[in-house]
Amino acid sequence: MSVPSEESHVLNGSALTAATGWTRIAALPAEDSVRIQSLMQAFAEGLMRDGVRVGGVTQTRVADSSGRSGIVLRDVATGAFYPISQDLGPGSVACNLDTSELALACAAIERAARDGAQLIVISKFSKQEAARGGLCDAFRAAMTARVPVIAAVSPHYRDEWRAFAGPLAEDIAPERQALADWWARLRAPSPAGTSI
């Protein structure tokens, strides 16, 4: 069985489901981005304290020495920062996304999935991912390695998210207990006696 293309979540005419052994994705609504990013970071840290190998990034804002705010991605396992906002100077109205830093963050997630992470955290599915860029390769790496994923999903790109993730994703309430319940269901032995 191969990984579905980014254009379709249908394989041989039938939808992929949890029963086929494919990765499950917990999709959190990203309306309140600061709260959701904090929730994902705290959940990852709690699992790591329990010995779970977690990889991925969360998003935060930091101020530089001049007081200007920029977006950074933070590696949940190492604490490394990837500043994805670049300074284009005063008065600039151009897109300030630093795609090289975004690519470095994506590569770190791909490495974590390949190197045995038991859970991947992906900061957000938004504009870049809806266009099949951004962190899409990180999602694909996790799916290929069959590693469960927690991701925030922008409300502006829900339709694109559904087309991208299809039945692999489950909407989860933005609460720690809902994430804990989702994780417990994934870890529970299946009728065949296996778990993730």
**CATH for 158:** 3.40.50.300
Instruction: Report yes or no on 9 lying in a domain.
Output: no
Distance, C-alpha 158 to centroid of its chain: 15
The boundaries of the domain holding residue 48 are: 22-187
Instruction: Report yes or no on 143 lying in a domain.
Output: yes
Instruction: Report yes or no on 62 lying in a domain.
Output: yes
Q: What pTM, to 2 d.p., does this model score?
A: 0.82
Instruction: Report yes or no on 193 lying in a domain.
Output: no
Measured distance CA(94)–CA(91) in Å, rounded: 9
pLDDT tens track for 44-103: 999 999 999 999 999 998 877 777 778 899 999 999 999 887 665 666 555 667 788 889
Measured distance CA(23)–CA(152) in Å, rounded: 16
Residue 129: name the closest of 138, 121, 120 by CA. 138
Least confident among 21-30, 138-147, 157-166 = 21-30
Measured distance CA(62)–CA(68) in Å, rounded: 8
Instruction: Report yes or no on 7 lying in a domain.
Output: no
Instruction: Report yes or no on 76 lying in a domain.
Output: yes
Structural domains counted in the chain: 1
